[in-house]
Amino acid sequence: MKETSLTDRQERIAGFKQSLIDRAVIGVIGAGRTANEVIKNLALTGFRSIFVCDMDSVSDTNLPGTVLFRKADVGEPKARLAAEGFERLAVAEGAKARWLCADACYGLGEGVLRRCDLVINCVDNTQTRLYISRICKLLEKPCVDIGISGFDWTHMASSPDSDKACYACVISPRDAHEALKRVRNSCDVTLSEAAKEDRAATIITAAAMAGGKAVETAIKILHYEEREDRSYDPFYGVITSYSAASGRTESFRVPLREGCENHLSYRELGGIRPSGLSADDELGKVLERVRELYGEGYSLSLEKDCVPVSNKAFIRRAFCKCCQAPIEVYRPQFSLSDEDLLCEDCRAAGKIPLLPSRAERIYRFSLAETEERILGMKLRELGVPALHILEFVSGDESRLPLFLELDGDGKEENI
Ligand SMILES: [Zn+2]
Ligand SMILES: [Zn+2]
C-alpha cells in the first residue's frame, strides 16, 4: 500500500506542488510575535529550510504571544529559539533552520538573503522594514511584509520585478523621515535607545492571522514564480488590511510611486561579482585583491548609494560625552553605546554620558589614503557582516561601481 504523505491533505488542493515547498529556502526577518506564527506555519506546511534573523532575547512579556518560546527560554536569543522551534515542529524530515542574532540592518550579510528564495519581513520598526525591502529589490527577491497593531494586521507582497509597487512606494514621507532619524541623528553618534524599544499594543490573534496570510502568500509566490499560475496569484503590490473594529478585510492595489528609490536591482547596476573574500580578511588585503582583479583606484564604500536607509560609518575619533576630551574609538558607529564614548577617566569616575558626541566618521577606504592601523583591521571589525555584498567605487566617473560578494564566508553560513 502506498504510504500517505504527512502533507497529503494540502497536496489535494488543486495545483498544489509540495515539491516547491520542499526545495524552497525562506528568510524570516524578526523572531517576535508575527515571526513565531510565520515559522510555525512554515514548519507545519512542510518547509525544510529557513533562515531567521533577530537581535533580541526573550523577555517575560514575550511569552503569552509566542508559540515557539517557553518560560525557561527567558534571556536566550529569539533567533536561536525560533530556529529550534521550527526544527521541533517541522513535518519535513531533516528540516533545518539557520539563525543569526543581529540587527538585520547592520549584522546581516546581503548574500544570506541572496541564497533565500523569498523573504518574509516580520520586524516591528520602519527602518528595518525599509532596509529589508530595499535589499530584496536589489537582489530581485520577492518579499512579504506583515505588520500588526492591536487586533489589526496588514500584509503586502513585493514583486522581484521593478514594475510593481513595493513597500517603500507605500510609506509616507513622514514615516520615512522618522526611520532615517533613528540612524542619522545629526547631533550625536550613538543610536537612540528609545528608538529600539518595542512597546506597541499587539495581541496573538492578530499575529496568528497575519502569520497565516504571510505563509499562504509565500506558498503562492513559489507556485506563481514557477509557472505563473493565476490561481496562485500572490497579488504583488496589493495591500491587504484587516480592521477588527469594522470586521472587514480590505485590499487595494498600490500605484507605483514615481521617484521611489527602491526599484533598481544589482543586475541593472552591473551585477554581483564573486570575490573569494571573507569578512575575516583584512581591509588592506581586500583592497589589494580588488586592485589585482579590477585595476587601480577603487575604494571600499561602507555606505552604498543604492541603499539609502542605513548608516554604516566607521568612527575613528570622538569626543568624550562628559568632558569633551578626544578619544580613539576605531569601531563601527552602529556598535557604539553612550558608555563607549566616555574617556577612561570619566568612565573610571562613574560619570554619566550626557553630552552629544562629535565624531570623525569614515565611509570610504582606499590603499592610498587609509591609515595603516585601519588597513590591518578585519572587515568584520569595520562592521561588515559575513557574506555581505560590498560596493567599491572608482574616482574615475566613467567606471561603474563594483559589487563584490564575500563568498569566502559561504562555507559556514551558506544556506
Ligand atoms: Zn517602490
Ligand atoms: Zn571624559
Nearest ligand, CA 327: 2
pLDDT in tens, 15-42: 999 999 999 999 999 999 999 999 999 9
Distance 129 CA to ligand 1 centre (A): 13
* Centre of ligand 2 from the C-alpha of residue 389, in Å: 37
Pick the CATH number of 8-263 from 3.30.565.40, 3.90.650.10, 3.60.150.10, 3.40.50.720: 3.40.50.720
Q: Which ligand is nearest to the CA of 348?
A: 2
In DSSP terms, 331 is beta-bridged to: 315
Nearest ligand to the CA of 352 is 2
Contacts of 195 (CB under 8 A, 6+ apart): 125, 182
> 319 C-alpha vs ligand 2 centroid, how far in Å?
8
Predicted confidence at residue 170, as pLDDT, reads 86
Q: Which residue has the higher pLDDT, 192 or 222?
A: 222
Ligand nearest to the CA of 353: 2
Taking the CA of 166 as reference, the closest ligand is: 1
Distance 175 CA to ligand 1 centre (A): 14
Say if CB 268 and CB 160 are below 8 A apart.
no
Calculate the dihedral angle through the C-alpha atoms of 228, 232, 236, 239, rounding to the nearest 10 degrees. 170
What confidence tens digit (pLDDT) does each residue in 331-359 have?
A: 999 888 888 889 999 999 998 888 777 88
Q: Give, in order, the Cα–Cα distances in Å from 56 to each of 96, 301, 337, 381.
A: 21, 28, 16, 21
The rounded Å distance from CA 29 to ligand 1 centre is 19
Cell numbers that stand for 16 in this block: 498544489
Ligand of minimum distance to the alpha carbon of 264: 1
Q: Separation of 391 CA from ligand 1 center, angstroms?
A: 22
Q: In this model, does residue 198 exceed pLDDT 60?
A: no
Sign of the CA dihedral with 102 first, then 107, 113, and 116 last: negative
83-101: burial string, b at 16+ Cβ within 10 Å, e else? bbbbeebbebeebebbbbb
Instruction: Determine the pLDDT at residue 182.
Output: 56
Ligand 1: centre distance to CA 167 (Å): 6
pLDDT at residue 79, as a whole number: 97
Residue 380 vs residue 400, higher pLDDT? 380
| Listed residue (313, 288, 303, 284) closest to 371, CA to CA | 284
Q: How far apart are the CA of 255 and the centre of ligand 1, in A?
A: 9
Mean pLDDT on 95-106: 95
Q: How far is the CA of 144 from the centre of ligand 1 (A)?
A: 14
Q: Judging by beta carbons within 10 Å of its beta carbon (0-12, 13-18, 19+), is residue 331 exposed, middle or buried?
A: middle
**156 CA distance to ligand 1 middle (Å):** 12
- Domains of the chain, by residue range, sit at 8-263, 272-413
Which residues lie at CB < 5 A from ion ligand 1? 166, 168-169, 260, 262
- The ligand whose atoms approach the alpha carbon of 134 most closely is 1
Q: H-type helices in 254-405, by residue range?
A: 283-294, 344-348, 372-375
Residues near ion ligand 2 (CB < 5 Å) are: 320, 322-323, 325, 343, 346
Q: What is the pLDDT of residue 6?
A: 84
